[in-house]
Amino acid sequence: MTNVLPARRLLLVHAHPDDEVTGTGATMAHYAADGAHVTLVTCTLGEEGEIHVPALAQLEAAQADQLGGYRVVELERACAALGVTDHRFLGGAGRYRDSGMMGLPTNDHPRCFWQADLDQAAAHLVEIMREVRPQVMVTYDANGFYGHPDHIQAHRVAMRAAELAGPDAPRKIYFTAMPRSVLEGGMEAFRELDDNPFADVERVEDLPFGHPDGEIAAKIDGTDHYERKVAAMRAHATQIPDNSWLYGIAGDFGGEFMGIEYFTLAKGERGTVSGPHQWENDLFSGLGLEQGAAADAVTP
């Protein structure tokens, strides 16, 4: 069977429902609106997440343990808000369980993603790569951006799958990132917010994430779609409360912060660069796949 897909195909590998929005929501909306085929792979259901809707508190893992199923629906609504129609759970919904934060007993659960066999988990992703044949993949760096075990494992699985996929592997691989210059500007701006997420942080170097500007390879401007990102955040109501500082950013700064996302380049060559930092503004740059290129046939 032959499926005709758009010429540009982007694969994103994230750990839990809502990770796709906070880290790459504007990028996903930007490329979906531009006609690229955007495939989101989520590795767990996020069963160990906190619940910020009091009426749903008993869904938590220690009680009914039904949060994962609820978050499936939240993720569907978030993808719809972003304009993304191709979403998969790695190995099928519920194949891998949320591992919880590093060092917790949940890291030892036999079904948790942290305990997954690397090659078996990667094989599930290889199947998707061979079906979609994405030219670009986005996931986390080796530290999972901030050290969560499921983020680290998502990185390992994505990179192993890229090794195993052969000619169907992505030609460019990016990791989510945040320039330290942007963090410094944000820390200063957020001091005016009542809910300042950096209240206890004195220096940007003290944060568990952030990259020197020279390590950044791409800056994707999705400011035209930041309202879609905010709508997708609201879809994840159990995880992002109405009083979250993220909405403070959206209200006070709009797309200036919410609509721009940054990446480091882990595989492939940089394409066209511009600006004072010489960053790409298109993840497909250098691949000969201009916006609006004709669709091609993909045979699973």
Q: For 3-46, how does the pLDDT look when each residue is reduced to its tens digit (9 = 90+)?
A: 678 899 999 999 999 999 999 999 999 999 999 999 999 999 99
111 pLDDT above the threshold of 80? yes
Could you tell me the pLDDT band of residue 292, with boundaries at 50, 70 and 90? low
For residue range 115-151, what is the model confidence (pLDDT) as tens digits?
A: 999 999 999 999 999 999 999 999 999 999 988 999 9
- To which residue do tokens 């919880």 refer? 100
Tell me the CA distances in angstroms from 177 to 26, 51, 195, 220, 297, one per residue in order. 14, 26, 23, 11, 33
Q: Which CATH number fits domain 3-284: 3.90.1150.10, 2.102.10.10, 3.40.50.10320, 3.40.640.10?
A: 3.40.50.10320
d(CA 142, CA 154) in angstroms, rounded, equals: 9
Q: What is the pTM of this model?
A: 0.91
Q: Rounded mean pLDDT of the chain?
A: 89
201 pLDDT above the threshold of 50? yes
197 pLDDT above the threshold of 70? no
Say how many Å lie between the first and final Cα of the chain, rounded: 7
pLDDT confidence of residue 5:
84
- For the chain, the structural domain boundaries read 3-284
pLDDT confidence of residue 209:
73
Q: Partners of 73 in the beta sheet?
A: none
d(CA 54, CA 280) in angstroms, rounded, equals: 43
Both tokens assigned to 88: 């998969």
